[in-house]
């Protein structure tokens, strides 16, 4: 089980996406605004992988223009305690846009 969770959430961007989805469902454009340093291509790829892994649900509303919303699946919600810890840790290590914070930069510099 640990290995499966690790393999499905190894990307920092995936963890950041899941942390945003804990707060509620989001449209792709909302996630893009929350993560300005991710390209549209990378965001789409990460969302597709999370959906394929069963971690998130993609809901398409038949309207004009089409509306697509992402939310955590039951499996994704089962990861909430882990995500809460990672999101809390991420406050000191990674910013919500997925970039390293000064904390990690200083640590990296001090170990060099």
Q: What is the DSSP string of 26-64?
A: EEHHHHHHH-TTS-HHHHHHHHHHHHHTTSEEEEEE-SS
pLDDT tens-digit map of 69-103: 999 999 999 988 888 887 777 665 545 455 555 54
pLDDT tens-digit map of 3-20: 455 454 457 889 889 989
Contacts of residues 39-48 at CB distance under 8 Å and 24 or more positions apart, as own/partner, are 42/13, 43/13, 43/17, 46/11, 46/13, 46/14, 46/17, 47/17
Give the residue-averaged pLDDT of 48-56: 95
Read off the pTM: 0.71
């Amino acid at each position: 089980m640990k290995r499966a969770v690790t393999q499905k959430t190894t990307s920092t961007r995936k963890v950041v996406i899941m942390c945003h989805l804990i707060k509620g469902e989001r449209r792709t454009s909302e996630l893009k605004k929350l993560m300005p340093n991710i390209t549209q291509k990378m965001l789409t790829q990460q969302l597709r992988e999370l959906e394929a892994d069963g971690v998130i649900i993609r809901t398409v509303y038949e309207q004009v223009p089409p509306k697509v919303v992402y939310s955590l699946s039951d499996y994704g919600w089962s990861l909430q305690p882990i995500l809460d810890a990672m999101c809390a840790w991420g406050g000191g290590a990674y910013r919500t846009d997925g970039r390293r914070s000064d904390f990690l930069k200083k640590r990296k510099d001090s170990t060099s």
